[in-house]
Structure 1
Amino acid sequence: MGREVSAQAAVLPRASDSRALPGWPARSDPSSLPHASPEAPGAAPAEVPLRRTGLCALMAATARRHPARVALVDAADKAAWSGRPAMTWTYGAAAEIVARLAGGLRAWRLAPGSRIGLALPGSTEGLVAHLAVEAAGHIPCLLPATWDEDQFAAGIEAAGISAVLTQARLGTARPAERLCRAAVRYFGLRYLAAFGPDVPDGVINLDEMVLDRRGGPVAAETGGGLISFVGGDPHRPVHRPGDALLAAVAVHLIAARVEPGERILTLVAPGDLRGVVTGLGAALVAGASLETLPVFDGAALGAALLRPVPTHLVAPAFLEPALARAALPDTLRTIGFAHRAPARLTGRSLRTAFAGGRAAVVDVVALDEDLVLSGTRGRDDLAFGLAEPERFGLPASLLSLRRDEDGRIACRGQAAKAAPYRRGEAGPDDGTAWRPTRYRPTLFAGTATGLTEA
């Protein structure tokens, strides 16, 4: 199913000295980081993960080699719904922020490998917070920012979360205040921190943590994977180890073929495995930039697409009819349409390419938090791969699929290592045993027309 992703080592660069960070007010020195302004990305060999490398280490490795390459880009309208300025970060600047946040998190009295919740939208703050949790030696837990107080309380307890990072404002909602009320109901939540503006009393200010220069360089940990929730259900956390997360990203990149210095423009939130694999994970493994549009706006999407950089768009599947009618720029390389099982594949356009045949179409389907499958429409179409999963064409050690006697898709391999999280129990297995999913393909004339729950 195309090329196989290779691997290289990754290490964390030194943190810079006494410079302020763009986007945060300077305490004493108004100068910015040397690589804080966006520059044109340069061509270079792809930097992709070793078996047990974390996403934070990939960020650090690219920052050391290509510090001026653009890494993270905010939506232009970010200030309207968050009260924070839209930022563009290079790899060098983003790695500095990750190191400072990680240093602050390490000062908390938490055991290594503690679960830290992330109730943040797909903004630059949320992305660097994810990496900082990894770099501090803990496990990121993806908490949907749209949860209510009861859902936050249930999810925090189910995953055994010791700390939560959030922000004060998200549109008309106030996630930090909502989490303050949820924290009262669970004694195990020891720390609550938020990005401003107007951080509530008693909540740690993450902006102050970013500006704190007292700590030294933070060595990146190997990455403990992540915890996410099946269908956003706070009672169903799933743990995926770090090597399994990177294997899942590799499965996606075999189809998406993102190159170093290119851009991923995503409309899919980073609140589950599908969002991380197609967004932050794919960008860091490929050495590309990631631009997020957490709040969908047609005009904002049109403006973002016009930027003169090779682009890989990731969008929810329901937007396919609209994008099929749109005038798309020549810079578009692929369009990924993200599905979630149960799903129908019959509503897809028969077109295998957009933008006058220059942009290939990649279908991405998530089977709960078990696995994410990606296939290029036409050549490696999911309609054929799901009908005969044994011929899916992936390296067996990475991911193998089959249909069990009851018709359900079963999986094994490095990308399939995941298990429901239960405190006091062993984590995911080694991926060598077959593990059934909840879904079976519906078949017609030798092709899969969708996935239904068994």
Structure 2
Amino acid sequence: MNAFAVAERSVEVPPDASARSGGLSGCLFAAARTAPQRTALRDSGDRAAWCGRPAITWTYAAAAEIVGRLARGIGAWRLPAGSRIGLWFSGGAEAALAHLAVEAAGHLPCAMPAAWDPEQLAAGIEAANLLGVLTEGRRGSRRPAEELTHAAMRQFSLRYLAAFGPGVPDGVISLDAMALERGVAEPVASLGLVTFEGGDPERPVYRSAEALAAAIAAHCDALPPSADERILTLLPAHDLRGLVTGLGAALAAGAGLETVIPFEEAGFRTALLRPVPTRLVVPALIEPALAALPLPFTVRALNVVHRAPAALTRRAAPDGEKPRLDSLVLGETAIITRPGLTDLVASLAHPDRAPLPPALLALARGDDGGLACRGPACASAPLPRGAIPETDAGAWRDSGYRPILAGGTAIGVAAI
């Protein structure tokens, strides 16, 4: 697969906006037509030690070709359209390729946390009623593809297992081989995606393609990324938090996505110094450590991501002059992104006056003090074992959290 890695070039043409309604794979293919040599996906860190794979750089053209080949191979499985297919990856370019390929093939990607143990894995497969799972052969000391073969013995509905190598055991389809086969399938209309509330394998949550696009657009509204940027993220893409701030934001803008997973300091420092205009996405947990690390001039913006429940007090910033985004993630329901922590806490203290894009996301406080939200950006529903559920973007829904107020200012968010 290294033969498809192509060097970076700067191209100024953004993807067709109309492709965004077709899902993430539609954005990828649109950008591949208009800006084929722009970097789409890049791995950082010591991937060889982590998973026995080299770190790869993919242009939009190369990524679209591989996604199209994988989608064609998945289509040959002859599963019913809209089948639920799990994605069990630690992160990186191959995780993104797998997600996009499942979507492009007309199936429903179900992103599962890498940290699940075998019992959680089996419970998640059962709860989401998965017919297939894509994974990796190695993940540090773990062997996910091998673990899946054991889980499949107890899950009679699970018909197809596939993995990127090395270490792909018998009975598991090689995604490496599939990616080298001839023939590229164009993406079909996206059906959305499934994530798991709080990483709980018993609580799969469905979001339509339109709702995901709205969540991405609401996030990007605060400070739109540009196509010449890369998004350098430390967040895995197994939940709404990582998908919206990472892969979703990058593909919507036609920008590049670079992941540092697993995190290790040397790889992060190397990635940070790459001479590319950068939007850095980090969990709030590591913000104090960032304060000791001067950010290079290439970092155009810092996106600090808080996951509720959370304290929302300003910590020492690595560079107060850089534009900053603060994102608050309310489970798998919504992401609230504002230009800085001051704006975010003001939006939580007075949600009815929050300057959010009204066609996408609105906030209110209920009688119990809890936050409620409405709009396509938060339209989701628990996933039943049967048909895909209906979601109502016009209905108010409880977020499950309430702001903690002190002197009229929000200083945190707590679970109700």
| Deviation of the 1:426 alpha carbon | 5.7
Aligned residues: 416
Distance, in Å, in 2 between the alignment partners of 1:46 and 1:219 is 16
Distance, in Å, in 2 between the alignment partners of 1:411 and 1:370 is 9
Distance, in Å, in 1 between the alignment partners of 2:16 and 2:91 is 23
1:280 and 2:247 are equivalent in the alignment = yes
Tell me the residue number matched to 2:343: 381
1:198 and 2:173 are equivalent in the alignment = no
Alignment of 1:356-371 (within 5 A): 357=321, 359-371=322-334
Percentage identity across paired residues of the two chains: 53
Distance, in Å, in 1 between the alignment partners of 2:234 and 2:226 is 20
Tell me the residue number matched to 2:319: 355
Maintained 8 Å contact 1:229/1:236: yes
Tell me the residue number matched to 2:230: 263
Amino acid at match of 2:353: R
1:427 and 2:393 are equivalent in the alignment = no
Tell me the residue number matched to 1:3: none
Distance, in Å, in 2 between the alignment partners of 1:443 and 1:167 is 45
Alignment of 1:397-412 (within 5 A): 397-412=359-374
CA shift digits 1:97-120 (9 cap, x unpaired): 000000000001211111100001
1:291 and 2:251 are equivalent in the alignment = no
1:133 and 2:133 are equivalent in the alignment = no
Tell me the residue number matched to 1:67: 36
| Deviation of the 1:220 alpha carbon | 1.2
| Deviation of the 1:356 alpha carbon | 5.7
Distance, in Å, in 2 between the alignment partners of 1:295 and 1:186 is 29
Tell me the residue number matched to 2:272: 305
Instruction: Give the SS at the match of 1:448.
Output: strand
**One of 123, 148, 151 as aligned partner of 1:182:** 151
Amino acid at match of 1:349: R
Evaluate the alpha carbon distance shift between residue 207 and residue 51 of structure 1 in structure 2; reply closer, same or farther with a 3 A threshold.
Answer: closer
Q: Where does the alignment leave 5 or more consecutive residues of structure 1 unmatched?
A: 1-21, 24-31
Amino acid at match of 1:246: A
Distance, in Å, in 2 between the alignment partners of 1:150 and 1:257 is 41
Tell me the residue number matched to 1:15: none
1:240 and 2:207 are equivalent in the alignment = yes
Amino acid at match of 2:138: R
**One of 42, 49, 52 as aligned partner of 1:80:** 49
Tell me the residue number matched to 1:342: 309
| Deviation of the 1:76 alpha carbon | 3.6
Evaluate the alpha carbon distance shift between residue 425 and residue 133 of structure 1 in structure 2; reply closer, same or farther with a 3 A threshold.
Answer: closer
Distance, in Å, in 1 between the alignment partners of 2:37 and 2:14 is 15
TM-score by length of 1: 0.89
Distance, in Å, in 2 between the alignment partners of 1:391 and 1:292 is 35
1:331 and 2:295 are equivalent in the alignment = no
Compare the two structures and name the one with the higher helix fraction.
Answer: 2
Amino acid at match of 1:367: L
TM-score by length of 2: 0.97
**One of 97, 100, 120 as aligned partner of 1:151:** 120
Maintained 8 Å contact 2:231/2:257: yes
Distance, in Å, in 1 between the alignment partners of 2:15 and 2:299 is 20
Q: Where does the alignment leave 5 or more consecutive residues of structure 2 unmatched?
A: none
